[in-house]
Structure 1
Amino acid sequence: MRLYRDPDVPGRIDFDRDFYRRIAEAPDRRRLVHDHIVPIRSGYAWPVRAGSLVRIVAVEGPQVCDLNLWNLNNPRERFWAARTRQLQGAHVTTFDRLWSCLPYLRPMVTITNDTLPTEPTANGGRCHDLLGSRCDPYLYKLLDDRDYDVTCHNNLSRAIAPYHLTELDVHDVLNVFQVTGLDPVHEIYFMEPSPAK
């Protein structure tokens, strides 16, 4: 077996972890500039400047956040879940990076802290999923001919509309707080309850 890259020899994608560790360990040096609670079964989009720190917190029990990212100045540069999965792994945690699409291929986010368990569950599931995608009305229609408007895809589409982005701009997500894995027999995607409290 050959890994896509050797996690013990990061090579050219290495970065200064001590810099990000210092950021994570200095909450007294931060200034809150934006705070928002996203109601259940809805979405929210907001601009974040380079160099900012964003905290995503589950405040009302075990929920999941479907995260999309775009370059604020060029929405063609956006988060690329597949490449991030190749470079970081199927689930992300502290000091992993979220990478942008081609032709840019740059880190868009560096995770500075993760308070949830990183060890696999009894079924092999892990948190902060890059394996799956968002739920969407087209999948519900395909699988059981059900019309369903309250999906992660629709929520993201509605949230980005004020920024002149459309449903076509929504892309594969990082499922923050979602525990997932692959069934060892059929390699079919599974989900488990989120450990977020």
Structure 2
Amino acid sequence: MIEIPAQTGVAFTLRPGQRLRVRDPEGLQVSDLFCFNRTDPGEWLSSGRSVDYADTLLLTTGHALYSNRSRVMLRIVEDEVGRHDFLMTPCSLAMFRLVAGNEEWHPSCHENLAKSLAPFGISPDQISTTFNIFMNVVFEPSGRLHIEPPLSRVGQSILFQAEMELLVGLTACSHEETNAGRCKPITYELLDP
């Protein structure tokens, strides 16, 4: 297992058939995932298409994550938590300013994804809505959204299988509120078929 320290991110590649396990080693920690077609960065992860084709906001075992071109990028093979978010964009410096009223610099998932993906030629503007692993966003009948503590417990994980050549960005989320008040590490491993 490879550790992503609290409030940081990484980027790596996946081959078709290769699996990615993301684990919450301490519990109550979110991890933001975004990916691109490794050979064509004009194809990227699409929240809208994934939710549309699954007919649910709560993607879990058996669901696929689709690209903006309606092709499967990842499949969820195993899910020990069953509650993730695909509505919220990655936390950003702008979000901390606009929503939290924080005018000082704060680590953010968007910045960590941008830094990690930059060596692969990805610009910050190419990073869109992330699949927020373990994030617990509650949606009320009125349409109002609010963030509750993650449901993930110590050691729980989610397992994905790549369906194309992928470039993946992954974080240990930087937003204290999202992570029950304290940011913690995330671990991941790449498993060959």
TM-score by structure 2 length?
A: 0.73
- State the alpha-carbon separation in 2 of the partners of residues 83 and 38 from structure 1: 28
Structure 1 match to 2:6: 40
Q: Which amino acid aligns with 2:149?
A: P
Structure 2 match to 1:67: 33
Higher relative contact order, structure no. (Cα contacts within 8 Å, ≥ 6 residues apart): 2
Q: Deviations over 1:52-106 (max 9, x none)?
A: 11111111222101100111111111100111111122121001000000xx210
Structure 1 match to 2:71: 106
2:137 to 180, 183, 186: 180
Contact 1:131-1:181 within 8 A present in 2 as well: no
Of Structure 1 and Structure 2, the greater helix share is in 1
**2:96 matches 1:140:** yes
Q: Structure 1: state its 5+ residue gaps.
A: 1-34, 119-126
- State the alpha-carbon separation in 1 of the partners of residues 49 and 105 from structure 2: 30
Q: Which amino acid aligns with 1:114?
A: D
Structure 1 match to 2:49: 83
Deviation at 1:167, TM superposition (A): 0.8
- State the alpha-carbon separation in 2 of the partners of residues 137 and 171 from structure 1: 15
- State the alpha-carbon separation in 2 of the partners of residues 62 and 98 from structure 1: 23
- State the alpha-carbon separation in 1 of the partners of residues 75 and 27 from structure 2: 25
Structure 1 match to 2:87: 131
Of Structure 1 and Structure 2, the greater strand share is in 2
- State the alpha-carbon separation in 1 of the partners of residues 98 and 87 from structure 2: 20
Q: Which amino acid aligns with 2:60?
A: T
Structure 2 match to 1:97: 64
- State the alpha-carbon separation in 1 of the partners of residues 144 and 88 from structure 2: 10
Structure 2 match to 1:190: 146
Q: Deviations over 1:6-29 (max 9, x none)?
A: xxxxxxxxxxxxxxxxxxxxxxxx
Contact 1:99-1:107 within 8 A present in 2 as well: yes
SS state of the match for residue 13, structure 2? coil
SS state of the match for residue 141, structure 1? helix
Structure 1: 4+ residue segments shifted above 6 A: none
Q: Which amino acid aligns with 1:76?
A: G
TM-score by structure 1 length?
A: 0.72
Asked which structure has the greater CA Rg, the reply is 1
Deviation at 1:148, TM superposition (A): 2.9
- State the alpha-carbon separation in 2 of the partners of residues 105 and 75 from structure 1: 15
Contact 1:129-1:178 within 8 A present in 2 as well: yes
Contact 1:91-1:129 within 8 A present in 2 as well: yes
Count of aligned pairs: 151
Q: Which amino acid aligns with 2:58?
A: H
Q: Structure 2: state its 5+ residue gaps.
A: 155-193
